[in-house]
């Protein structure tokens, strides 16, 4: 099993030309990860940072087409957070890092700041098409993370490091398995010892009972002998 895992990882290393981490999808120089969970805008941004990425930034039509197309191919009617808001100033939409929007693809009539509380950018599916919409930041939605594509050499190095880490973990698992087997063997020996000890105690108890029986038998024989002597004495006394 371990050999199969390592072989699969070596195949992954050999074909790591895309330079995107596992679960990310490449478009030119960027890698995108489409979540299957829902979070608020702030939580989604934090999750992307955990993945060493950021909420997706759409700078041109090519990036927009890729993201919309991939979201459509997933076949789920999910809406996704993108990395822009007008939290600092109403109507002044900025990407993460205070980058200005040079490209937009708003749904007709958006952004409308409905109720005065919609300040975060969402990629919303509407009539089978994905367009931009402003939405309440605290509401849960799926999200898209983006990170720069890793150069091939760095990707190969990262996968080799991952392989070595996996190999070390497998060795640690083997060592743990050996220790568990040794523990089970020791436990079995202890149980066998306890069973033997119990048998010895039972034997000693039986031996004690036999000794007690022999003593009792000796006492009975002594009593019978004394009784015989008394009868003999009484008979002699009668003759006199």
The pLDDT tens digits of the residues spanning 22-70 come to: 999 999 999 999 999 999 999 999 999 999 999 999 999 999 999 999 9
Name the domain count of the chain.
1
Residue 91 belongs to a domain: yes
Residue 204's pLDDT is 79
**CA dihedral of 185, 189, 194, 198, whole degrees rounded to 10:** 130
Residue 170 belongs to a domain: no
Residue 185 belongs to a domain: no
Residue 130 belongs to a domain: yes
Looking at residue 35, which CATH number applies to its domain? 3.10.100.10
Residue 5's pLDDT is 37
Domain that holds residue 126: 20-149
Averaged over 80-107, what is the pLDDT? 97
The segment with the largest mean pLDDT, out of 5-14, 80-89, 177-186, is 80-89
Residue 12's pLDDT is 41
Cβ within 8 Å of residue 108, ≥6 positions away: none
Bridge-based pairing of strands 80-85 and 94-95 is antiparallel
pTM over 0.75: no
Token pair of 234 as six digits: 């009484």
Taking the C-alpha atoms of residue 123 and residue 105, their distance in angstroms, rounded to an integer, is: 10
Taking the C-alpha atoms of residue 236 and residue 144, their distance in angstroms, rounded to an integer, is: 122
Tokens 């190095």, residue located = 157
Residue 10 belongs to a domain: no
**pLDDT, tens digit, for every residue of 167-214?**
776 777 677 667 767 877 777 787 888 887 888 788 877 777 778 887
Question: Of the given ranges (93-107, 108-122, 206-220), which has the lowest mean pLDDT?
Answer: 206-220
- Per-residue pLDDT at 8 exceeds 60: no
Residue 178 belongs to a domain: no
Residue 180's pLDDT is 64
Residue 181 belongs to a domain: no
Averaged over 215-229, what is the pLDDT? 79
Residue 175 belongs to a domain: no
pLDDT band at 229 (very low <50, low <70, confident <90, very high): confident
């Amino acid at each position: 099993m371990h050999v199969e895992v390592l072989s699969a990882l070596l195949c992954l290393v050999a074909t790591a030309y895309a330079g995107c981490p596992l679960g990310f999808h490449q478009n030119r120089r960027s890698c995108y990860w489409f979540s299957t969970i829902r979070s608020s805008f702030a939580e989604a941004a934090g999750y992307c940072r955990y993945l060493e990425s950021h909420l997706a930034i759409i700078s041109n039509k090519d990036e927009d087409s890729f993201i919309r197309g991939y979201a459509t191919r997933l076949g789920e009617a999910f809406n996704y957070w993108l990395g822009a808001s007008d939290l600092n100033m109403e109507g002044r939409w900025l990407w993460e890092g205070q980058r200005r929007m040079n490209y937009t693809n708003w749904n007709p009539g958006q952004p409308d700041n409905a109720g005065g509380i919609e300040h975060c950018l969402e990629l919303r599916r509407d009539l089978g098409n994905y367009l931009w919409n402003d939405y309440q930041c605290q509401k849960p939605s799926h999200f898209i993370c983006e990170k720069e594509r890793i150069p091939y050499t760095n990707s190969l190095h990262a996968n080799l490091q991952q392989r070595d880490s996996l190999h070390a973990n497998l060795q640690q698992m083997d060592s743990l398995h050996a220790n568990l087997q040794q523990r089970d063997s020791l436990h079995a020996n202890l149980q066998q010892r306890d069973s033997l000890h119990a048998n010895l105690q039972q034997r000693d108890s039986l031996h004690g009972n036999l000794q007690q029986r022999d003593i009792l038998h000796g006492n009975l024989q002594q009593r019978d002998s004394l009784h015989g002597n008394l009868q003999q004495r009484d008979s002699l006394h009668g003759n006199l």
